[in-house]
Amino acid sequence: MKQFLYLIIAFLFFSAEAQQTEIVDFKSVHAQLQLEPDSSLVRGNLKYSLLVLQNVDSIYLDAINMKFNAVKLNGKDITFINDLKKIWFKSEFKKDANYTIEFEYSTKPKKALYFVNRGEDNQIWTQGQGKYTSNWLPSLDDTNDKMEFDLSITYNNDYEVVANGKLINKAVGESTTTWHYDMQKPMSSYLVTLAIGKYNKKEITSKSGVPIELYYYPEDSAKVEPTYRYTKQMFDFLEEEIGVAYPWQNYKQVPVKDFLYSGMENTSLTIFSDDFMIDEISFVDKNYVNVNAHELAHQWFGNYVTATESKHHWLQEGFATYYALLAERDIFGDDYYYNTLYEYAKELINQQLADEATPLLDAKASSVTFYKKGAWALHMLNEKVGKKAFKTAVKNYLNKYAFKNVNTQDFLTEVEKVSGQNLEGFKKEWLLSKDLPIAKMRTSLKKNESIAFLETIEHTPYLSYRKNKDGFVPSSLVNDLPKGYYIERLAVLEEALKKPDYPTYGDLIEEAFSSNEIEVRQLLAKAIPDGFKEESETLLLDASYVTKEIALSNLWSKYPYERAKYLEATKDVIGFNNKNVRCLWLALALITKEYNPRLNTIYINELTSYTSPKYGFQTRENAFNYINKLQIFNVDSLLNLIDATSHHNWRFKSFARDLLKSLSEDENYKEIIVNLQEQLKEK
pTM of the model: 0.92
Residue 579: the pLDDT is 98
Residue 261: the pLDDT is 96
Say if residue 656's pLDDT is above 60.
yes
State in words which class domain 200-300 has.
Answer: mainly alpha
> How many angstroms from the chain centroid is the CA of residue 50?
34
H/E stretch holding 69: strand 66-73
pLDDT one-digit tens code per residue, 313-365? 999 999 999 999 999 999 999 989 998 999 999 999 999 999 999 999 999 99
Average pLDDT over residues 422-429: 98
pLDDT one-digit tens code per residue, 135-168? 999 999 999 999 999 999 999 999 999 999 999 9
3-state SS, one letter per residue, for 612-640: CCCCCHHHHHHHHHHHHHHCCCCHHHHHH
Residue 41: the pLDDT is 97
| Amino acid present at 157 | N
Say if residue 232's pLDDT is above 60.
yes
pLDDT one-digit tens code per residue, 579-596? 999 999 999 999 999 999
Write phi, then psi, for 119 (nearest 5 degrees): 65, -125
Say if residue 466's pLDDT is above 90.
no
**Higher-scoring residue by pLDDT: 378, 481:** 378
Kindly report the average pLDDT of the chain as a whole number.
91
Residue 602: the pLDDT is 97
Rounded Cα distance between 17 and 173, Å, is 49
Task: Domain ranges for the chain, please list them.
Answer: 1-198, 200-300, 310-447, 516-573, 574-683
Write phi, then psi, for 325 (nearest 5 degrees): -70, -35
Average pLDDT over residues 603-630: 97
pLDDT one-digit tens code per residue, 277-291? 999 999 999 999 999
Name which of 116, 108, 97 is nearest 52 in CA terms: 97
Residue 511: the pLDDT is 81
Residue 471: the pLDDT is 46
3-state SS, one letter per residue, for 328-354: HHHHHCHHHHHHHHHHHHHHHHHHHHC
> Which band of pLDDT confidence, cut at 50, 70 and 90, is reported for residue 505?
low
Rounded Cα distance between 476 and 458, Å, is 22
Tell me whether the CATH fold assigned to 200-300 matches the one assigned to 310-447: yes
Going from the C-alpha of 123 to that of each of 31, 65, 159, 199, the distances in angstroms are 20, 23, 9, 10
Please name the fold of domain 1-198: Immunoglobulin-like (2.60.40)
Write phi, then psi, for 373 (nearest 5 degrees): -70, -35
Yes or no: say if 147 and 29 are a contact pair by the CB < 8 Å rule: yes
- Give CATH superfamily name and number for 310-447: Neutral Protease Domain 2 (1.10.390.10)
pLDDT one-digit tens code per residue, 71-88? 999 999 999 999 999 999
Yes or no: say if 270 and 263 are a contact pair by the CB < 8 Å rule: yes
Say if residue 428's pLDDT is above 90.
yes
Say if residue 458's pLDDT is above 60.
no
Residue 485: the pLDDT is 37
Burial tier of 664 (Cβ tally within 10 Å: 0-12, 13-18, 19+): middle
Say if residue 533's pLDDT is above 90.
yes
Say if residue 527's pLDDT is above 70.
yes
Residue 252: the pLDDT is 98
Torsion sign (Cα): 506, 512, 514, 520? negative
Residues ≥6 apart with Cβ < 8 Å to 492: 457, 462, 463, 466, 473, 477, 478, 481, 508
Rounded Cα distance between 52 and 101, Å, is 12
Average pLDDT over residues 392-417: 98
Rounded Cα distance between 588 and 260, Å, is 31
Residue 209: the pLDDT is 98
| Amino acid present at 182 | D
Residue 197: the pLDDT is 98
Residue 490: the pLDDT is 67
- For the residues of 104-164, what is the DSSP string, one character each? EEEE--SSSEEEEEETTEEEEEE--TTT-GGGTS-B---TT--BEEEEEEEEETTSEEEES
